[in-house]
Amino acid sequence: MYQYEFAARMVSPPGCKDYSRLTVDTYYFADASILMKVPKGAFQPAPEVDSAVVKLVPRPAPFEVRDEAFFLEFVAAVFSQRRKKLRNSILNTNYMLKIPDVKEVVNQLPEGFMSKRAENLTPEELACVANMIFDLKSR
């Protein structure tokens, strides 16, 4: 059981206000679903917020990630600046990502990804970008 707002962020689709790093990380490791919302009145004493029962089923990642540590760091970095387009988000968070020649790497990435915000990309698309960056920085 989790606070309802937290549970909603775990299962939110891309493009919604609740879609976040938590959503992507949860999806990478498990299938998650909200089984039921539990109103705050169901508890004594009543807490300030509603709760939710969440079903988490661990499973292998549904998409390929070349380097898990880099992928998770990339997701953290781009969601730390979620309102910026991916190009600027990567450039501004390179202190986290440590990409040599970051401007050159970013210029080699597809504009279709670079002109979107992290909150509008699916976990699979974020993995695709992370894999491309990982391959380019490993050369």
Q: Residues annotated in the binding site for S-adenosyl-L-methionine, as ranges?
A: 1
Query: Torsions phi, psi of 37, nearest 5?
Result: -90, 135
DSSP state of 40: G
Q: Residue 76 and residue 26: Cα distance in Å, rounded? A: 13
Q: Is 139 exposed, middle or buried (0-12, 13-18, 19+ CB in 10 A)?
A: exposed
Query: Torsions phi, psi of 75, nearest 5?
Result: -60, -45
Q: Residue 139 and residue 136: Cα distance in Å, rounded? A: 6
Q: Helices H, strands E: what count in the chain?
A: 8, 3
Helix, strand or coil, per DSSP, at residue 57: strand
Bind-site residues: 1
